[in-house]
Structure 1
Amino acid sequence: MSGVFDRRPGVAASGDEAVAAGRDIGTAVTAPGAIGKQHIEHLTLLAAAPPAPVPRADLVDAPPGLTNLPERPRLFVGRRRELDVLRAGTATGTAPLVHVVHGLGGVGKTTLAAHWAADHAAYSPVWWIAGDDRAAVDAGLGALATALLLRTGAASLQEPQLRDWALQWLAAHDDWLIVIDNVSEPADVKHLLAAVRGGRFLITSRRSTGWHGIAETMALDALTSEEAVELFARIAPDAGDAVADVCSELGHLPLAIEQAAAYCLESGTAAERYLALLADYPADMYTATFAGRNEQRTVARVWRVTLDRLADVPLAVTILLTVAWYAPDDIPRSFLDGLGSPPAVDRAIGRLAAHSMVTLRGTSALSLHRLVQAVSRTADPEDPHRDAGAISAAREIAAECLVEAVPEDSADPGQWRTWRRLLPHVEALAGHTDPAEDSVDLARVFSRVGQFAGHQMTGSRAKRLLRRGEAGVVRHLGPDHLLSLVARNRRMGFQPLPLRQALDHVARCERVLGSRHPETITARYELTASYLEAADLDRALLNVREAVALRSRVLGPEHPETLEARWGELRVMAIQDDGEAAVDLVEQLLTDCTRVLGDKHPLTLTVRGSQTQVMSSVGRSITAMMFRATREIAAQGEKALAEVRTAADDLREAHSREAVEAWVQEALPEAVGRLADCEAALGREHADTIAARLNLAHMHLGTGDFDAALGLARQAAQEADRYVGADSFLSAMARACIMNTAIATRDVATGTETLDWFRRFLRANVSGGSEAQERAQAQIDAMENAWALALAEPPAEE
């Protein structure tokens, strides 16, 4: 071969990504705009024509109905207020309309967003973007750009170019809706929100903070009780009668309700049994899933994601696990002062609030969802934040915080606000913990807070704490220790012991402490109530007078405890209807209390309130009647109303209607003044204030001012239910006044409603077996008959 024949063909290429080959090639793929040619002998080959150039974003219109929404939620209930807020939103014309729906994981943010977006097909596109992080947001924008460019035949772009093109398109158009779901950090979407001037964004996030200046925020709370029951019933319509109880236990949280209902449906479990399983196997139930459901979408696992994000602030997790042992609302931040430096505690609470795990209540308190608390109290070996050691340590911290928070003096009205805020959290800790694990310090807290609750006339709430406190102190220190004797004295003050036990306690105090020790004298004073319970009024009077004499000698005649004992003597005398002596005693006691304690002291107000009862025979009869009813409701709730009715009959036999009305007219101004003083000095929530309001209602009932009587009685009932307890004597007496007003006015609606309340009250407070239940039913029947007779009688003539 000649040299000319053997020479290789010339090769040339042009363009950024052109292809050049020194020999024959099959296929050459070049970048847009690149031209490659290969000279083979005398032949030139050109590449295929390039794809269409990428069009300008402002020249591309979205096809109608373009969307990538997930399936429309079939299980959607309630949320009318939130939907109305979203519908009412209007753009400013200078910035996009941005709504951020924030809330606890599992509260239904994604479901709300999907439901609302599905109703807005007029937008185009309606586009769903995952907001887990910045990369997910950019990927979602890239998918939007790809969908918009699909019809144009434009060449494909790399992801950064797709993101930028999507931002340009959004900036050039207005009629679109972008949903960004589950945004972890506001910074991940700020670049997107800043790049456009129109359109609409709906963002869901657990983050409640960081949105100021860029979005309108809307907090999403749990469902109402009715909505929660509806959601449960849609999934498991045959779960039985305890569905409402399950929903309440789960705090009406949508994810938890769906999880529970699906469990009941799939396993054929009744709601009542589900409640029992939840109590006995909480760790299993909080992570239980069902066929077809993402295992990560259970309440325990959803919240673990949040705890993972808080792991860089360990104190935040510690605080969450600690406050889980308290009541869910109005947790004083001061409880947590000892857990770290003020900036560290503030930062930890702020992080919890930012992730919707707690809700700030002003600057001094926080609250959290009851199910978050329940999960946070439950050990889970698969969750490093909630292993058994962490749960146990948090329980001990919660107890120590309460020990530090208890004020010095429960009798000081200036500290009552602190005591009242403390009470529900002490009760919650007692309800969530095993008495066998109480330290002696915590047992003393239960005893002291129980004493305060007793002074507030909270009935059964006080007794539970007093019993728990005494048992714990005795277990640690023995029955003869001073603190054990003090704890029993406190309990006797609000729950009289059987007479034999009370006498034994006094004897123990005398043996251990001596007869003149203040706690021994207190034991003797509290013995009076046991004599009264045994209906031995003579011994009761002798005993209380001995206590007065001892306190006067040991503590002094003007010591507050001596004045208290004199008030106890007055009560026994009023019960005995010892008229003349009681009149002299109440006048002198009121003078001494006013001089020593002040006219706004609780004891002074109490003595003042008794003055009108003691100063006349009618008043003393009413006092005796109230004592009989109080004694019966303390001993056996279902007999109390019968005692009230019997005592009222006795009152009518002993005194004419005219005498009662005259007494009421004379006492009315004092009752009005005392209520005002109680509100000012004690607060509306104090039992004495509620009793003063109820007393005024009875006064108006006696004068025939039924409207005033009904209004006051209803207010007293509401406040008694809220502050003292719906099972309390005050609540029952307030309803009795309401019932009397309904009878007097033939108010069918009020009478029927009140009868229903009494049915629930009597059945809930019945004690004993079938015989006691029969007595309770007899009381209900008697009340219904009395109501029917009242309606059948013609109204009294004016």
Structure 2
Amino acid sequence: MPARWPHQVGRIPLRAGSFQERAEAVRLAGVLEGGGTAVVGPAGGVRAGGVLTGLGGVGKTQLAADYARSAWSGGELDVLVWITAASAEAVAAGFAQAGTEVLGAEREGAAEAFLAWLEPKAEERPCRWLVVLDDVGDPDDLRGGWPPQSPHGRTLVTTRRRDAALSGGGRRLVEVGVFTADEALAYLTEALAARDRHEPEGELRALAADLGHLPLALSQAAAYLIDAGISVTDYRALLADRTRPLADTALAVLPDDQTHAVSAAWALSIERADALHPVGLAAPMLRLAAFLDANGIPETVLTSTPARAHLAPTRALPAPKRSRRWWARLMRSTAATTATEPVSAVTEADAVAALRVLHRLGLITHDPETPHQAVRVHQLLQRAVRDTLDPIPHASAAADALLAVWPDIETDIALAQALRANTTALSGHALDLLHRPVAHPVLSKAGNSLGFSGQAAAARDHFQHLVESATNHLGPDHPDTFDARSDLAYWQWQARDLVGAVAAYEELLADQLRVLGPDHPDTLNTRGSLALSRGAAGDVVGAVAAHEELLADQLRVHGPDHPYTRIALLNLATGRAQARDVAGAVAAYGELLADQLRVLGPDHPDTLNTRGIFLFWRAQDGDAAGAVTAYEELLADQLRVLGPDHPDTLDTRNVLAFWRGWAGDAAGAAAAFEELRADQLRVLGPDHPDTLDSRDGLAMWRGRAGDVEGAVTAYEELLADQLRVLGPDHPDTLYTRNELAAWREELEDTDDE
């Protein structure tokens, strides 16, 4: 016998404790009520289906249940059907149950009868219905089973999937993300207050951030805090303990009718992803991403040659059916299944396809429109994956992948920042592994990238940490520890701690002499760095003598054409320049240039660089016009060989602009600096030392060209940025302050006239 209306089929999940009203609920209501996103048909007012999609644990089911409960209790519905739609069989059974209860149909054919009954019919009394299909695992499970569009009916689907098939036929996707910071704070505050627990707001916000604002994780954390009777501080320490699996931070009995702890909430999605084409690549791709930056991984890292080589041995054909326990085996194993196919090369297209599969299953967000942060993964999903792995091969592969795409010359600021952020994340997860058996070069690459981007103090701090780590993991006398100490000394020097740099080089040299001996290349190179730092610190006479002694030893050990010998000659020339011995510097640079032309050829970057330095010192005799011509020729060669965005090319443009000004063309110099600044902002960024330096040239030549007010404005803007970036006591900041005062005085004199 048909049921009388109103009638409910299936059970709506209980409302979670401390349920939060969210913006997604408003968007969902707009979709289902036709508010701006409804599909309007010929009859008008036809309601589209709404699809709530998002990562497991973000609260999709609770949002759907809240909507259904509100519509039901508000008298908006005659028939409400809630189906837990985890499989095609479950969907069919749910519709059959609805057909049996609502229509009084026989079980056989009841599902088809119910779907047909939902079709709007002009001659029948309209039925206001809502069908909720919760936790759809595969769009194919709904093939032939989508409720029809109707002016009186609504369909709501929750799923972790993002397949295009879900949004066809007028259905609208509503992305559900994690809580906002304020929603997460409100949830924790209310959940704990319900048990008379009150914790400092700062600690609660920090805990919410630790958990990535994931609703499921917040719920289980609150329950743990209440049942275990521990403080938020202690729970955060428990969570931060990387020797303890994430599963240990959840209770055996979960709150709010939850069936899975956070650590296992994504198991089925990963299993399904790994079974899709390209078979067997999704899970290993997720393992690799688990060691990188949750907030954005460049796509090129995950499609690089090392990444694809890491994926290749894991290709497999999954067995057709698996238990939930396969999650652990899937994540731990190097071969995902026992039914394997011959290993084949993984192409770049395969790797991208694996990312798209993970995106479709809601396990990552893959946005090719933001290539340097194309892949995002929730931090707790990363933790859950890492908990089940032997981390060594994955951490090593991630480091290799980062290094493979890291350009030798950084001309893309966003890419360099993303690579540094991913290296920081990788170090946080597996720093000790990156020192087995030696220090991975990506660690020093990240530090030097920081420094050469203009962040000398940050680079110094990076290498201080790296020295400590290398000492702990490799020992104080390991070559990689020595290398880290050398880098630390260099960035101390660049951060203007000249005394500290000299002391650091002296200590390093003493240890290298003891361990490596006097003729080891690293020992000899440290002698050169020590001499340079001494010269920068003011001991120019001692520095030149040290360079001369080192050059003699390099000639003895390596011969005249070895790169280390040429470096020693370059350092000698630099030492003479520090001592203001212009004739000596020109002679040394000229000798070095002749050797490079003979050994390396005229187009080698080192030859071109030495040409620029040689021209600078040769121009000190006052031939500004000749310097302009020579630098124009050099610039033409650098543009041809290195390209317009190479730092050496940009540096030559900077020097050429200065010499144009000194040759009498102040307006041309100012114009050249304007063009250079635009390119430096694009390539190097606003805070790079070279960008700040060219801005000084722009300000000066504006003033010398007669635009005194423009010079004052430019110096004021430059001083503000130098105070922010370099600090008040940096020599460049002090120089700009003096120049600004002089040009302000010039402006006042002009106004008086």
Same fold (TM over 0.5): yes
Q: Which amino acid in 2 is paired with 1:334?
A: T
Aligned CA-pair RMSD: 5.4
- Verify the 8 A CA contact 1:570 1:585 in the aligned structure 2: no
Which of 76, 90, 93 is the matching residue for 1:136?
Answer: 90
1:527 aligns with 2:493: no
Q: Deviations over 1:647-681 (max 9, x none)?
A: xxxxxxxxxxxxxxxxx99986554333123245x
Classify the secondary structure of the residue corresponding to 1:90.
coil
After superposition, residues 117-136 of structure 1 pair within 5 angstroms as 117-120=68-71, 121=74, 122-136=76-90
- Residue pair 1:443, 1:470 contacting (<8 A) in 2 also: no
1:462 corresponds in structure 2 to 459
- Counterpart for residue 175 of structure 2: 219
After TM superposition, give the deviation of residue 453 of structure 1 in Å.
3.0
The answer for the alignment partner of 2:316 in structure 1 is none
Q: Distance in 2 between matches of 1:70 and 1:709?
A: 64
Paired letter, 1:337: R
Q: Secondary structure at the match of 1:218?
A: strand
Query: Which has the larger displacement, 78-87 or 199-208?
Result: 78-87
1:357 aligns with 363
Q: Deviations over 1:542-588 (max 9, x none)?
A: 767988998997668997997788678768879xxxxx999829987
- Give, in whole Å, the separation in 1 of the partners of 2:252 and 2:699: 57
Which residue of structure 1 lines up, in the alignment, with residue 211 of structure 2?
250
Counterpart of 2:346 in structure 1: which amino acid? Answer: P
Q: CA contact under 8 A between 2:696 and 2:715: conserved in structure 1?
A: no
Q: Residue 143 of structure 2 aligns to a residue in which SS?
A: helix
Instruction: Give the aligned residue type for 2:269.
Output: T
Kindly provide the CA deviation profile for residues 284-342 of structure 1, in whole angstroms up to 9, marking residues without a partner as x.
45433667444624311212333344464544222222221111212432242111233
Measured after TM superposition, the shift of residue 106 of structure 1 is: 0.6
Does 1:275 find its partner at 2:236? yes
Can you give the 5+ residue segments of structure 1 that lack an aligned partner in the other structure? 1-53, 150-155, 379-385, 575-579, 618-663, 721-725, 745-795
Contact kept, 8 Å, 2:544 with 2:575, in 1: the verdict is no
Asked if residue 424 in structure 1 is aligned to residue 375 in structure 2, the reply is no
Q: Distance in 2 between matches of 1:409 and 1:190?
A: 46
Contact 1:410 1:416 in 2 (8 A): no
Residue ranges of structure 2 left out of the alignment (5+ in a row): 313-344, 494-499, 582-615, 742-750
| Aligned residue in 1 for 2:601 | none
1:287 to 247, 250, 266: 250
Query: In structure 1, what is the Cα distance between the partners aligned to 2:574 and 2:85?
Result: 68
1:86-485 equivalence runs, <5 A? 87-93=35-41, 97-120=48-71, 121=74, 122-149=76-103, 156-172=104-120, 175-193=128-146, 199-209=153-163, 210-214=165-169, 215-236=171-192, 238-240=198-200, 241-280=202-241, 281-288=244-251, 292-294=255-257, 296-310=259-273, 312=275, 313-328=279-294, 329-331=296-298, 332-335=301-304, 336-338=307-309, 339-340=311-312, 341-342=345-346, 345-346=351-352, 348-362=354-368, 365-378=374-387, 386=388, 391-392=389-390, 394-403=391-400, 405-407=402-404, 411-413=408-410, 421-435=418-432, 438-440=435-437, 442-459=439-456, 462-463=459-460, 466=463
Inter-partner Cα distance in structure 2 for 1:212 and 1:185: 13
* Corresponding position of 1:691: 692
CA–CA distance in structure 2, aligned partners of residues 485 and 165 of structure 1: 78
C-alpha separation between the residues in 1 aligned to 2:519 and 2:158?
69
* Structure 1 residues 269 and 478, CA gap change in structure 2 (3 angstroms): closer
In structure 2, give the amino acid aligned to 1:88: G
Alignment equivalent of 1:584, drawn from 597, 620, 632: 620
Distance 1:356 1:286, change over 3 A: farther
Q: CA deviation at 1:272?
A: 2.9
TM-score by length of 1: 0.62
Structure scoring higher RCO (CA < 8 A, sep ≥ 6) equals 2
Give the secondary-structure state (helix, strand or coil) at the position aligned to 1:427: helix
Counterpart position of 1:674: 676
Structure 1 residues 515 and 81 mapped into 2: Cα distance closer, same or farther (>3 Å)?
Answer: farther
Q: Which of 495, 504, 514 pairs up with 2:492?
A: 495
Letter in structure 1 aligned against 2:451: G
How far apart are the structure 1 equivalents of 2:480 and 2:576?
A: 27
- The one-character-per-residue Cα deviations of 1:75-118 (angstroms, maximum 9, x if unpaired) are 33343556555543323438861222211001121122223334
State whether residues 66 and 124 of structure 1, in contact with CA within 8 Å, keep that contact through their aligned partners in structure 2. Answer: no
Cα shift at 1:182: 0.6
For 2:382, the aligned partner's letter is Q
TM-score when normalising by structure 2? 0.65
Shift of 1:609: 5.0
**Which residue identity does 1:232 align to in structure 2?**
L
SS state at 2:225 partner: helix
Against the structure 1 CA distance between its residues 279 and 514, is the aligned structure 2 distance closer, same or farther, given a 3 Å change threshold? Answer: closer
Separation in 1 of the partners of 2:489 and 2:116?
Answer: 78
Shift in CA distance, 485/268, structure 1 to aligned 2, threshold 3 Å: closer
Shift of 1:278: 0.7
Farther off after superposition, 331-340 or 602-611: 602-611
Matched, 1:76 2:76: no
Residue aligned with 1:342, SS = coil
Structure 1 residues 514 and 593, CA, compared in 2 at 3 Å: closer, same or farther? farther
**Deviations 1:317-375, CA, capped at 9 Å, x for gaps:** 22222221111212432242111233664554343222111222228642211221122
Distance 1:100 1:436, change over 3 A: closer
Q: 1:102 to 1:167 in 2, by over 3 A?
A: same
After TM superposition, the structure 1 = structure 2 runs for residues 656-675 of structure 1, keeping only pairs within 5 Å, are 669=671, 671-675=673-677
Deviation at 1:236, TM superposition (A): 2.8
1:102/1:204 contact within 8 Å kept: yes
CA distance in structure 2 between the aligned counterparts of 1:235 and 1:564, rounded to whole angstroms: 66
> What is the CA distance between 1:185 and its match in structure 2?
1.0
**Worse-superposed segment, 595-604 or 324-333:** 595-604
Deviation of 1:167 after TM superposition, in Å, equals 1.2
Match of 1:50 in 2: none
Residue identity matched to 2:508: H
* Alpha-carbon displacement from aligned partner over 1:689-738 (angstroms, at most 9, x marks no partner): 66358759988999667997799779x97xx9xxxxx99748999xx99x
Shift in Å at residue 244 of structure 1?
1.8
Partners of 1:443 and 1:472 within 8 A in 2: no
- Work out the number of aligned pairs and report it: 610
Cα pair distance change 1:669/1:141, threshold 3 Å: same
SS at the partner of 1:288? coil
Q: What is the SS of the residue equivalent to 1:412?
A: coil
Q: Does the 8 A contact of 2:395 with 2:430 survive in 1?
A: no
Q: Counterpart of 1:239 in structure 2: which amino acid? A: E
Are 2:535 and 2:578, in contact at CA under 8 Å, matched by a contact in 1? no
Equivalent pair of 1:179/1:202 in contact (CA under 8 Å): yes
Per the TM alignment, residue 529 of structure 1 is displaced from its structure 2 partner at its CA by 6.6
Greater Cα offset, 128-137 or 682-691: 682-691
Sequence identity of aligned pairs in percent? 23
User: Residues 203, 284 of structure 1: CA spacing in aligned structure 2 closer, same or farther, 3 A cutoff?
Assistant: closer
For 2:531 and 2:466, the matched residues in 1 are separated by: 22
How far did residue 180 of structure 1 move?
1.2
Aligned mates of 2:66, 2:718 — CA distance in 1: 46
Q: Match of 1:330, as an amino acid?
A: I
Q: Which amino acid aligns with 1:602?
A: P
Aligned equivalents of 2:360, 2:521: Cα separation in 1: 53
- Given that 1:446 and 1:468 are in contact with CA atoms closer than 8 Å, whether structure 2 keeps it comes out as no
Per the alignment, in what secondary structure is the counterpart of residue 91 of structure 1? coil
